[in-house]
Amino acid sequence: MARRGRAVAVAAIGGALALAAAGCSGAKVGSTTAAGGSGSGKAACGTVNLADNPWVGYEADVAVVSYLAKTRLGCDVQIKHITEQVSWQGFATGQVDAILENWGHDALKKQFITDQHAAQELGPDGLQGVIGWYLPPWMAKAYPGITDWHNLDKYSHLFVTSESGGKGQLLDGDPSYVTNDAALVTNLHLDYKVVEGGSETALIESFRTAQAQHKPLLAYFYSPQWFLNEVPLVKVNLPKYTPGCDAVPSKVACDYPAYDLDKIVSSKFASAGGPAYKLIKNFQWTNADQNTVAKWIAVDKMSDDAAAKKFLDANPRLAQQWLAGTGAS
């Protein structure tokens, strides 16, 4: 984050990728899900190691790419349930071949692409990312001016909780989401305290309850995210982002930038130029596409493969575009 703005430090990898938070798929972070394929293309494709970061939108990315890699290219797909920061470390160790949804991370790009040459950019994935502070719709209607950050202190008493120490609470999500929120609260001189909510699911449930029961809530959230189709959260207007205003994490006093999300692959994976590399290079879809598949997984409780198949069956031209040049029949 910054999601997302998110990476500020890189933890060491031991013998295996290790992580702190679990993804929406239910698998343990740091675990590997084998999703082996079959068919005549398997030998040519080989093993593909995909990072799966802990939010359901990313899981949707992995679902469709993995499904095509398995069923059309015969790849042996290994899905690594790890956080963003550890995903990048996997390029150097050979444990990660591709990140399908990267949110910025200029420092990590410098370290692993520019300095170490362990990874390469592989172009946009078509998604437009937005991060910010959000309110349930009822609050935006009930409290005039609350969406202007200048007025947040006027309403801080509404957000006091048992965890916020007498200040207004700003709820954050998964602990692995490295955000600018604490710096923003300090540098904008706001009477708020950042409290971690624990997961993406916890954030969603908090917003759902806040809207249904008309409870005050101010929290970090982002798009693409299927939940915004259920509850149209209202974004707070923080000081306008300008290039470089977030260069020093401790001094950030501006909104998050808009993100053109992209794909990152290991240099070794790229140099091999196999069918899975070509599939990932071709992979692009929209926020609406991702939200559709993510909702099927998170709300309708479809398996990743079932959700991917349903989407690809309904979008055969998109599947053909992704498979172009891979040798798939």
Residue 177 confidence (pLDDT): 80
Rounded to two decimals, what is the model's pTM?
A: 0.84
Residue 172 confidence (pLDDT): 94
Residue 41 confidence (pLDDT): 39
Q: Delineate the domains of the chain, giving CATH numbers in brackets.
A: 32-128+261-323 (3.40.190.10), 130-251 (3.40.190.100)
Residue 231 confidence (pLDDT): 97
Alpha helices (H) along the chain? 42-45, 56-71, 84-93, 106-109, 137-142, 181-187, 200-213, 267-272, 275-282, 287-298, 304-314, 316-323
Q: Among residues 131, 121, 132, 101, which one has the least CA distance to residue 285?
A: 101
Mean pLDDT by 10 residues, the chain (329 residues): 39 38 38 52 78 95 98 96 93 96 92 97 96 97 96 98 96 86 98 92 96 98 95 98 94 95 97 96 97 96 98 97 91
CA 105 to chain centre: 12
CB 323 within 8 A of CB 279: yes
User: Rounded CA gap, 124 and 4, in Å?
Assistant: 15
Question: Which tokens is 130 given?
Answer: 């937005």
Kindly report the three-state secondary structure assignment for every residue of 180-235.
CHHHHHHHCCCCEEEEECCCHHHHHHHHHHHHHHCCCCCEEEEECCHHHHCCCCEE
pLDDT, tens digit, 9 for 90 and up, residues 150-161 = 999 999 999 999
Residue 150 confidence (pLDDT): 98
